[in-house]
Structures are given as C-alpha cells and as structure tokens.
Amino acid sequence: MALLQNHIAVVTGAGSGIGRAIAIGYAREGARVVALDIDRDAAEETAALVTADGGGAAAFVLDVSRREDCNAIAKRIGEEVGQVSILVNNAGIVRRNGMLGEADAVVKDWEDVIGTNLTGVFNVTQAFLAPLRASKGRIVNIGSIQSFVHVRTPSSPAYTASKHGVLGFTRALAAELGKEGIRVNAIGPGFIATPLNAQARATNPELVKAFMDHTPLGRPGTAEDMVGPAIFLASDLSAYVTGAIVMADGGYRAV
C-alpha cells in the first residue's frame, strides 16, 4: 500500500523546486495533492505533472503573506477537494542583503522575507488548523541550515531570522498540538539547486564554492533529495516523531 494513501496534502510554494518535487512525490505515494503558489501558472503546471503521472491534484493561487487569502483558500479547498490531513509549509523567498545597505531596502527585505517565510507559515497553519485537528494530521515545515547558523556567505539577517523562527514555531506547535494527535516536524535543507537560487549559482561561483567546501557530500542537493524526508515525516513511518528537524544538508552541520 502506498504510504500516503487516503491523505489530502497541501503544499505551499508548489510551483517549482522543493515544493513541486514534494507534491509529485506525495502523489506517487497515493496522496491527493493541492498545489498552492503565488504563481497560478506554476501551480497549475505542477498539478498537471501530477495528473499526467496518474495522480490526483488541484491547484490554487495563494500569497501566504495575506492572512485573509489563506483563510479563504482553506475554506475553498475544504469544500472543493476535501479534508486536508497533511500540510507542507514550503513557500519562501531569499534576499541576500545585509543590514548595512540603503535603509528603505533593508526594511523592505525584512518585511518581505519575514512576511512570507515566517508569518506565511503561521497564516497557512492557522487557516488549515481545523481540518488538521479533525484528521489528526501532519505538518511539515521547511526550515534550513540557517535555522541554526548564519552561513558564511552574504545572506540577509531576515532570512536567518525567518528560518530560526520556523524551527521555533515547529517545536512550539509540536508541544501544543501533540495532544490533538497532530505531529509537527521540519526539514532542514542545505544548499539545494533550485530556481530560487539559480541566478546566484550562475553569477556567484564563490558562493557555491563556500557551501561545497563545507558540505561533506561535496555536491549541491536537488529538490528530489528532499522528497524522502518529506514522505517520512508525513507518513506513519514517523508515527512517534514530532518536534524534530530532519537535516537534509549533505552533512553541512556535521562539520
């Protein structure tokens, strides 16, 4: 039997990269997938890839930083798709600027990154809390190596703060929602080659080198490398796991 049979899984930021890979991986394990993304065409493309592979999928546009929109989409999904039992909070943005730049730009980076990467996780989780409680569901948040460290490359303090926040939010929810039968865990990706960092990889080889010099496996991760941990945390294989973060970083935090 497929590991996620009879589940409905919502994946934010499912239009590309890690989110798309997880959506496709979940569908292959039997889940009906709901792809959410700020880019409607990208979300629909993910859903089309799932259905072309024989899975079930729906797609909706969502900006996770807009709380009212999150509430509305959760209601719509409940009516049109069914009771959600898995939530993957993957949507995120990166700004690799520090605190010493032009003040207005620094403030905008902070508001945008925190609004999407941290407040967005809160917004979506709160919006789907009722069906997750009813189904004794599973929440998988996408953290980072920057949930623990500020990496030795140019990177926004907002991004590091947001990913520290995701880990703290994961642990707080696990403690609170365990009695409801909801398990809450996170994945900590390292340097993953996705469209999100494609320009940085193309224009800043020193950035890539800095990560690879600190990564024992010696290669960037792929979006597909995140699928196994995501399936594990959403399935009954991890029935006694909550409040944890599974590092998928090529060994970055081991050295």
Question: Residues 192, 193, 198, 200: is their CA dihedral positive or negative?
Answer: positive
* Angle subtended by helix axes 103-117 and 119-127, to nearest 10: 30
Show the tokens assigned to 234.
Answer: 């959403």
Helix and strand numbers, DSSP H then E, in the chain = 10, 9
Closest CA to 230 of 7, 11, 5: 11
Is 159 a known active-site residue?
Answer: yes
H helices of the chain, in order, are 17-28, 40-52, 67-80, 103-117, 119-127, 129-135, 157-177, 198-203, 205-213, 227-234
Residues with catalytic function: 159
